[in-house]
Amino acid sequence: MATALAMEGFGAAIAQGNLSEAISAVQGIPLQSFQNTPLHIAVVGEPGSGKSSFINAMLGLQADDPRAAQTGIQSTTAEVKDYVYPLLPHVTLWDLPGKGEPPFNEGSHVQQIDLSRFDFFIIIGYQRFRTTHAELVHEIQDMSKRFYFVRTKIDLDLEASRRQRPSGYSAEKVLQRIKEDCREGLLREGALDPQIFLVSNWETDRFDFPLLQEQLKKDLLMLKRQAFLLGLPRISAPFWERKKASAQIVPPALCCGLVSALPVPGLSFLAAMLLLVKFRSRCYREFGLSRRSLEDLAEQIGKPVSVLKAAMTSLSLKPMVLLRLPDLVGATVMVVELCWGRFPTLGCLLSGGLSLLSTYFMLQKCVSGVAEDAQKVLTKALEVEAKKTI
Ligand SMILES: Nc1nc2c(ncn2[C@@H]2O[C@H](COP(=O)(O)OP(=O)(O)OP(=O)(O)O)[C@@H](O)[C@H]2O)c(=O)[nH]1
Ligand SMILES: [Mg+2]
């Protein structure tokens, strides 16, 4: 209920171009309100690392159960498949094919399987910390999402160690060394305070398996809140489309066309440039990107305004002016010189028409750029907000 109300406020604020109010509408939602928010957890990792076996262990299913995920020594999981996690409400575990395995060859994994559709990740690894894990950590962190690192087949490690050094065998030391290797690898990749669990999928009551389930339960509402916030940019997209559609482009373009019809070379350039600057400022105000609005938003999320400005990469005035206006000036001057002397009316119509068209497309590009920037700024603000643990 609280989330539905907040969503209404969020939508209304976006429609008004008030980004700080939009953030404030969702900022204050009590954690308990996210109980019913769905959480999609992707289980990812290299082929054969024990992803499907881990899912079965989480679900409490034996491998021969018809409801269980298929497991095997050879590559088994070829398609993404969902499994409802019965111990927590609205949580789904997703079994994915191994990263780096055909048809998900190196480099194509992300294109084939869109990781952005998942809210949280469990990276499964066995043996050493590898490049595959490092790549996954980067992909996940770039989306401002979180993960647990689960090191499987611990039973095999202990057994191997016991066989190799029967006299000096210490299970505790082996486990500590494995955890250290995982931690070092994760920290090297920039993971902050990584959560690492050592498990055997055959023995869910031993090692860190119970701890993992407990931690997931503890983190649940925070992860759902994060999923909710990071899903908001998708919801806000239609609001920007509506704002874009309502932008008044024709009157200023007409005005520029009329000015350009005057037989003064270069006048259309000046007129279009002035118009562009003014129009862009108006768009910034309407989409919530004016200096004042950005300062308010930065204060709201507790970050310097430069963090938000860095996200505004779609629209830069200089390249727009430099790219579009020389065409406009050149064409207009040419038309004026060629036609004005002999056919004054034709020259006037041509230069005015050219200017009108060119200005129209320029302003359209301007509105799209501002809308894109507004979406990026909002996404950044929501990412900052989602990272806060409350
Ligand atoms: N000893 C031991 N074997 C495991 C463990 N987890 C998985 N295995 C075995 O490892 C092999 C691969 O397990 P899967 O669960 O199919 O691995 P996967 O990551 O889903 O494999 P793909 O779907 O092919 O990427 C199977 O033979 C499992 O029985 C574990 O914790 N301990
Ligand atoms: Mg599998």
On the CB side of 46, how many CA atoms lie within 13 Å of its CA? 14
Tally of domains within the chain: 2
Domain that includes residue 252, residue range: 238-387
- Using CB distances shorter than 6 Å, the residues near ligand 1 are 47-53, 71-73, 75-77, 97-98, 152-153, 155-156, 200-202
Residue pLDDT, tens place only, 33-64: 999 999 999 999 999 999 999 999 999 999 88
- Yes or no: say if 336 and 347 are a contact pair by the CB < 8 Å rule: yes
Same domain, 196 and 50: yes
Ligand 2 center from residue 126 Cα (angstroms)? 14
* Mean pLDDT in order along the chain per 10 residues (390 residues): 84 92 92 94 95 97 91 80 96 91 51 85 93 93 95 96 88 95 94 94 96 97 96 88 84 75 67 80 92 95 94 70 56 60 67 75 86 94 86
Is 27 domain-assigned? no
CATH number reported for the structural domain that contains residue 39 in this entry: 3.40.50.300
Same domain, 369 and 281: yes
Q: Which amino acid is at 71?
A: T
Which one of 94, 201, 204 would you pick to mutate in the ligand 1 pocket, going by the greatest count of ligand atoms within 8 A of its CB?
A: 201
Handedness of CA 20, 22, 26, 28 (dihedral sign): positive
Is 81 domain-assigned? yes
Ligand 2 center from residue 270 Cα (angstroms)? 63
Q: Which amino acid is at 226?
A: Q
Query: C-alpha angle with apex 147: 202 to 49, nearest 5 degrees?
Result: 35
- Cα radius of gyration rounded to whole Å, the chain: 29
Same domain, 78 and 154: yes
* Chosen domain end from 153, 184, 207: 207
Same domain, 193 and 258: no
- Backbone region of residue 39 per phi and psi (left: phi > 0; alpha: psi in -120 to 50; beta: other values): beta
Same domain, 242 and 197: no
Same domain, 39 and 177: yes
Same domain, 198 and 297: no
Residue pLDDT, tens place only, 4-18: 888 889 999 998 999
Is 217 domain-assigned? no
